[in-house]
Structure 1
């Protein structure tokens, strides 16, 4: 019991749902590094961003999905999961929060929409060191071998160091075999986004509906971005913050705006 108290508490969550292969592989990647507690949505919540549940009840129940590891599923969003974990399950802040492994990319502009990263960001807001992990493979049967290998190394590194108050990383892993990964590269977020289009269709009753489609376009040709790193078989690590203030523009406005 004394040893358990000394072990770091690792909160694990995701946005693909508690039964997704990604979260199971994240648990496997960090087994033995601390006391793991899983709190995740009971269904897929991709693209939820930083949404929270308001105006309807949140439900939570314990599940047996990860052998001897405590696990809970909730009816809420990824952010709800972090809030519930801290307040109702752990009754304390964990030593680290890990979110993922997301099925699909969360580089560049995706960080804004990502439920995976929003869960990690919620933890960082609460001064919990946090990391969101994503694998660039949407398939249910994706190979997580390289992800498990490097995630363990990254988490070990973070747990061994003193981190700043709102420490938050966005980690993306290319979909290539372990032996083809060139290493880990600390990057900036690329300026890249989807050129979106809504395809108009008809349902069986003849009523119109719309299906979001789009093409990913990278406007940032630098070699210091997450998109470049991933295209060149590196794992990208982007330090992220939730302070959205544009400090350059702030200085300009303070100097040039004289509105009374």
Structure 2
């Protein structure tokens, strides 16, 4: 049966059972025809990894009361998007949404994020895409306060599209809806992780390591995602997947590369 509703692909990196994914599904179900393809287990911090040296599996699943198609995938978030576009969907979706991630993907975190890499992969495929994250790492985080804003942002993108080669990185502060001041279009803050490793030994005497570290924000600008989140705004950063440093081309062309 034909429908005028937009076709929306939904994915994430926290896994098919994550409450953040369920929250996103509940909002998207009001707006269009939805198909869910998500990892069968958590895939956080996988970045843009794809599966090349092992097999991929898709399992069609049905949860009680579902009115949509849902698949779990043995691969990464990017694998989920690739399989959805090439094997599952009969046409290109009108939108891809990823999340809602349990935890921040602001600033430098976008580089490591499986949530955002899924959105970027959709963008590469020519699909308008948005990654959503909530600054709450608790598995039982409350996603109700942000649903109205998710709907607002998605409707804006469905109606007006996105600039070519751009996807959106949306981060929500952990607040009640009434305490969120609004939405701000931002740039990515200049920040980094100062990593350190907690070195331990197994009972057999073999060294092993746990990654730890401290997040350091060096950016004092008031137009950044970190500033927005610290001041109770939703941050929306337009992200491009063309990694060319265009500003450096002129400088590099002044050098004698061929001598």
TM-score band w.r.t. shorter chain: over 0.9
Note the alpha carbon deviations across 1:158-217, whole angstroms, 9 max, x for none: 111143333300000001111110000000000111100011112233321111000110
> 5 Å matches for 1:66-105?
67-105=66-104
Query: Are the aligned partners of 2:166 and 2:241 in contact in 1 as well (CA < 8 Å)?
Result: no
SS in 1 for 2:66: coil
> 5 Å matches for 1:174-185?
174-185=173-184
SS in 2 for 1:85: helix
TM-score, normalised relative to structure 1: 0.96
Following the alignment from structure 2 to structure 1, what is the Cα–Cα distance between the partners of residues 229 and 131?
Answer: 16
Give 1:258 deviation, angstroms: 4.8
1:7 pairs, out of 5, 8, 13, with: 5
Following the alignment from structure 2 to structure 1, what is the Cα–Cα distance between the partners of residues 13 and 210?
Answer: 21
Query: Are the aligned partners of 2:128 and 2:161 in contact in 1 as well (CA < 8 Å)?
Result: no
Match of 1:61 in 2: 59
Match of 1:51 in 2: 49
SS in 2 for 1:256: coil
Please give the root-mean-square deviation of Cα atoms over the aligned residues, in Å.
1.2
Query: Are the aligned partners of 1:128 and 1:165 in contact in 2 as well (CA < 8 Å)?
Result: no
> 5 Å matches for 1:92-171?
92-171=91-170
Query: Are the aligned partners of 1:187 and 1:238 in contact in 2 as well (CA < 8 Å)?
Result: yes
State how many pairs are aligned.
258
Following the alignment from structure 2 to structure 1, what is the Cα–Cα distance between the partners of residues 203 and 229?
Answer: 41
Give 1:256 deviation, angstroms: 3.4
Give 1:141 deviation, angstroms: 1.1
Following the alignment from structure 2 to structure 1, what is the Cα–Cα distance between the partners of residues 28 and 122?
Answer: 18
Match of 2:252 in 1: 253
SS in 2 for 1:87: helix
Note the alpha carbon deviations across 1:222-253, whole angstroms, 9 max, x for none: 00000000000100000000111111211111
Match of 1:235 in 2: 234
Following the alignment from structure 1 to structure 2, what is the Cα–Cα distance between the partners of residues 251 and 233?
Answer: 40
Query: Gapped runs of 5+ residues in structure 2?
Result: none
Query: Are the aligned partners of 2:61 and 2:70 in contact in 1 as well (CA < 8 Å)?
Result: yes
Query: Gapped runs of 5+ residues in structure 1?
Result: none
